[in-house]
């Protein structure tokens, strides 16, 4: 994976918390800690967007679309 070096500014309290995690060997260094934090936040935002989009769906109309045309073929389906 390609990476790029960037400069960021963090508050001292945040930096102290990151350094504490490094001393406890949760992360090998500041860079890895910040990379993982950013990735987790981006993943969480993506999941929440998916949840918001799913909430817009109307279950009845989604079911009707999924079942559209199935009634004709239903008698041809094997019994389970």
pLDDT in tens, 16-26: 999 999 999 99
Q: Is the CB of residue 21 less than 8 Å from the CB of residue 27?
A: yes
What pLDDT is stored for residue 80 in this prediction?
72
H or E element that contains 66: helix 59-67
CA distance 43 to 49: 10
Report the domain count for the chain.
Answer: 1
In this structure, how many other beta carbons lie within 10 angstroms of the beta carbon of residue 19? 13
Q: What's the CA gap between 8 and 22, in Å, rounded?
A: 18
Whether residue 1 lies inside any domain: the answer is no
What domain range is 17 assigned to?
12-68
Mean pLDDT of all residues in 55-72: 73
The reply to whether 41 falls in a domain is yes
What band does 42 get if pLDDT is binned at 50, 70 and 90?
very high
Query: Is the residue at 17 inside a domain?
Result: yes
Does residue 74 surpass a pLDDT of 70? no
How far is residue 9 CA from its own chain's centroid? 25
pLDDT bucket at 71, cuts 50 / 70 / 90 = low
Q: Is 75 contained in some domain?
A: no
Identify the pLDDT of residue 12. 98
């Amino acid at each position: 994976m390609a990476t790029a070096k960037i400069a960021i500014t963090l508050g001292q309290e945040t930096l102290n918390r990151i350094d504490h995690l490094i001393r406890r060997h949760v992360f090998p260094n500041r860079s890895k800690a910040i990379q993982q934090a950013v990735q987790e936040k981006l993943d969480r935002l993506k999941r929440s967007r998916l949840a918001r989009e799913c909430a817009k769906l109307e279950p009845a109309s989604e079911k009707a679309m999924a079942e559209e045309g199935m009634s004709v073929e239903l008698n041809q389906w094997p019994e389970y």
